[in-house]
């Protein structure tokens, strides 16, 4: 039980260090509550159950897996909504683009998975093949627009706190985690994990290398 509580505490602290991600999580929970409330007030059926489930799923995945979790959550949400949205509703493409920004490594696999779901969904709805073509053209169009025109270039600087910079400085100098003074090894491990997630690094080695390059050493 204590181990589970410690894990939850670590995830909470991780979100506190990445405030924007934490706000995104809270906004999805708020959206889920709003959809739930509107479900009982509006006579129009707009698949509120699916939207509630999607928002909650994204919030849960963000909490446990940070930015990669957000990416996978949006992919699942997009592939689900395509079965209930009209073919000229391009909100699902927007969700797909968000997932690319959160976790770039899944760009092409996610596009293929989404495309398969589009074909299956439109076939089940017995839409004309031109509908698939139209949706596909918009997907390519939005990909090009975000890549060439509106893409925001990520900062070359790492997003680090002072204590994380201190720890990385020590690692850069060749020290082992257990040799760093001022923090327990468990604390250092947790801080490095938070820093990796915030800067989308797969490993501590990658984070240290980026830190080394940033400091021209």
Distance CA 131, CA 54 (A): 25
Mind listing the pLDDT tens digit for each residue in 190-216?
888 888 888 888 888 888 898 888 887
Distance CA 207, CA 4 (A): 27
Spatial CA neighbour of 17 closest among 161, 171, 173: 161
With vertex at residue 162, the alpha carbon angle to CA 19 and CA 9, rounded to the nearest 5 degrees, is 45
Alpha helices in 18-106 (DSSP H): 19-41, 48-81, 91-102
The answer to whether residue 74 scores a pLDDT higher than 70 is yes
Distance CA 201, CA 7 (A): 20
Looking at residue 113, its pLDDT comes to 95
Residue 140 vs residues 96, 115, 135, 160: alpha-carbon distances, Å: 12, 11, 9, 35
Mean pLDDT, rounded, of the chain:
87
82 near 30, Cβ under 8 Å? no
Q: What is the mean pLDDT of residues 139-161?
A: 76
The b/e string for 179-194 (b: 16+ C-beta within 10 A; e otherwise) is: ebeebeeeebebbbbb
Q: Considering only residues 107 and 217, tell me which one the structure prediction assigns the higher pLDDT.
A: 107
Q: What is the mean pLDDT of residues 159-179?
A: 88
Q: What is the mean pLDDT of residues 72-96?
A: 92
Looking at residue 8, its pLDDT comes to 79
Spatial CA neighbour of 77 closest among 128, 31, 26: 31
Q: Considering only residues 28 and 198, tell me which one the structure prediction assigns the higher pLDDT.
A: 28
Tokens of 216: 């021209």
The answer to whether residue 153 scores a pLDDT higher than 80 is no
Long-range contacts, 13-19 (Cβ 8 Å, 24+): 13/190, 13/194, 14/66, 14/193, 14/194, 14/197, 15/62, 15/63, 15/66, 17/161, 17/194, 17/198, 18/66, 18/67, 18/194, 18/197, 18/198
Looking at residue 156, its pLDDT comes to 67
Tokens of 90: 């391009």
- Helices 129-148 and 91-102, interaxial angle, to 10°? 40
The answer to whether residue 217 scores a pLDDT higher than 70 is no
Distance CA 33, CA 184 (A): 40
Give percent above pLDDT 70 in the chain.
Answer: 95
């Amino acid at each position: 039980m204590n181990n589970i509580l410690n894990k939850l505490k670590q995830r909470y602290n991780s979100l506190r260090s990445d405030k924007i991600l934490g706000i995104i999580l809270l906004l999805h929970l708020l959206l889920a509550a709003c959809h739930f409330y509107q479900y009982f007030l509006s006579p129009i059926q707009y698949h509120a159950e699916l939207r509630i489930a999607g928002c909650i799923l994204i919030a849960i995945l963000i909490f446990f897996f940070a930015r990669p979790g957000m990416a996978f959550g949006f992919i699942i949400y997009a592939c689900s909504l395509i079965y209930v949205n009209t073919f000229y509703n391009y909100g699902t493409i927007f969700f797909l683009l968000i997932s690319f920004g959160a976790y770039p490594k899944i760009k092409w696999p996610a596009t293929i998975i989404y495309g398969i779901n589009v074909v299956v969904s439109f076939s089940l709805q017995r839409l004309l093949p031109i509908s698939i073509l139209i949706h596909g053209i918009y997907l390519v169009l939005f990909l090009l627009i975000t890549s060439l025109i509106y893409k925001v270039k990520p900062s070359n600087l790492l997003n680090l706190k002072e204590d994380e910079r201190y720890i990385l400085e020590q690692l850069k100098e060749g020290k082992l985690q257990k040799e760093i003074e001022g923090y327990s090894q468990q604390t250092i491990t947790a801080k490095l994990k938070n820093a990796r997630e915030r800067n989308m690094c797969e490993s501590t080695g990658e984070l240290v290398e980026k830190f080394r390059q940033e400091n021209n050493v």
